[in-house]
Amino acid sequence: MATEKTFYLETFGCQMNAHDSEKVIGTLEQQGHRQVDAEEDASLILYNTCSIRDKAEQKVFHRLNDYKALHKAGKRFGVLGCVAQQEGEKIFERAPYVSLVSGSASYRKLPEMLARLEAGETRITGLDDRQTDETFETEFTARQNPYRGYITIIEGCDKFCAYCVVPYTRGKERSRTSTSVLEEARRIADLGYSEIQLLGQNVNSYRDPEGKRSFAELLAVVAEVPGIRRVRFTTSHPRDFTRDIVEAIDAVPALCDHVHLPVQSGSAKVLKLMAREYTPEWYLERIGWIKAARRPISITTDIIVGFPGETPEDFIQTMDLLAEVQYDGVFGFKYSPRPNTPALVMIDSIPDAEKAQRLQVLLDRQREIQRSNYAKHLGEVMEVMVEGFNPARGQVVSRSSQNKPVNFTSSQPIAPAPGSYCRVKITATHPNSLVGEAI
């Protein structure tokens, strides 16, 4: 009797990596593999990796080392995603028991690579250079999220920000046709999903290869798919953020009233060093468009502190921008050098303790801004989508259209199912969440 083909897949990183894993799972299942929940039960162990964060590759190698003893039991290992693309065949040198190394642009070749693996090959690579025009389509996607369907509409990045490894691991920008995006949106709706999230490293850099629709027009038509009640998108780049995106959110109720627009710094000098190719004034003009919308739109951002050359005065300018915009959420990071990036040649002279101190100051101030922003929702009735249940607190976990977490109680004997909608009256607020009662 043939041995059952089983696989274990662990995902590191962002929503795009999580969606990539859905594609990998679907492809493996289509090839006759069955997913299991533990490395010990799998014949093939895969790690889908992210290289954005500091020491990402070390974390992957530590995980590989933790389980290398399983190699003696005949199990095979594969490293997928950004660290695979970044490190390439060096992975075989550091972890000789790894049999498969594949970047995200090569997932369409997975069936062929799996066949070679099963035929006995021990070192297989799928590494595309950044010039590839092929985007992995989603014909075998196995959707794992119970309440949200993801669609990657654009892969890669042409921006080459000085600190960022994405152009070197994900390749150049490649957009899918609006026709194929719309077809997938309809398939997702047919599966029972009512929320769609459009994904891209720079999602609003989307350029329809068919020339039919702008990004804003694509948002609108996806939101009009029967059965879809919410459409989100992430992450936007300020250089490609246009006024018609705000106009679309105003005009189409199903487009969620939330924009994530990374600023990275409030200093014109630091933005130039980062090669962001916009000024604080340019960025604030776009914030003005968002704040002038008829619907209140929640704004969140990313900020890096301690970039090479950032002075205390530059950091103060970032704090000034924080105070002016009044974000609903900030993802703050200390600068850390990433492989292959232009910033590697810059002198990183700011001590880590100083970076940590700046980050703490920023996060403390942002917490107070959020405390004030979230408090404005007290007494409001809002529609939320259920994401789960927290038995320890006896609360339903949900999210508002503005992407704010809402934890609420319900008088119903059975908690509402993930993906369902409820109206909730907000009875308490915290800096990072809202609390309420179902009505």
Q: What is the pLDDT of residues 35-91, one digit of tens each?
A: 999 999 999 999 998 877 666 778 888 888 888 888 878 889 999 988 888 888 889
∠ CA 161-165-167, rounded to 5°: 75
Residue 8 has pLDDT above 90, yes or no: yes
pTM value is 0.88
Nearest to 137 by CA among 179, 166, 99: 179
More confidently predicted of 114 and 387: 387
Contacts of 391 (CB under 8 A, 6+ apart): none
CA distance 49 to 59: 9
pLDDT digits (tens, 9 = 90+) for 246-298: 999 999 999 999 999 999 999 999 999 999 999 999 999 999 999 999 999 99
What per-residue confidence (pLDDT) applies to 139? 61
Domains belonging to the chain, first-starting first, are 6-126 (3.40.50.12160), 145-256 (3.30.750.210), 261-375 (3.30.750.200), 381-438 (2.40.50.140)
Both tokens assigned to 129:
């250079």
Spatial contact of 421 and 408, defined as CB atoms under 8 Å apart: no
What per-residue confidence (pLDDT) applies to 171? 85
Both tokens assigned to 392:
């320890």
CA distance 259 to 265: 17
76 forms beta bridges with 44
CA distance 102 to 109: 9
pLDDT band at residue 1 using 50, 70 and 90 as cut-offs: very low
Residue 338: phi and psi, rounded to 5, are -115, 150
Both tokens assigned to 103:
């970047």
Residue 190 has pLDDT above 50, yes or no: yes
What per-residue confidence (pLDDT) applies to 132? 53
Nearest to 389 by CA among 422, 410, 415, 353: 415
pLDDT band at residue 126 using 50, 70 and 90 as cut-offs: confident
Spatial contact of 198 and 164, defined as CB atoms under 8 Å apart: no
CA distance 377 to 430: 10
pLDDT band at residue 135 using 50, 70 and 90 as cut-offs: low
Nearest to 141 by CA among 41, 230, 246, 23: 23
What per-residue confidence (pLDDT) applies to 105? 75
Spatial contact of 260 and 200, defined as CB atoms under 8 Å apart: no
More confidently predicted of 2 and 256: 256
Residue 174: phi and psi, rounded to 5, are -135, 120
What per-residue confidence (pLDDT) applies to 25? 92
Average pLDDT of the chain, as a whole number: 92
Q: Which amino acid is at 420?
A: S
CA distance 263 to 340: 22
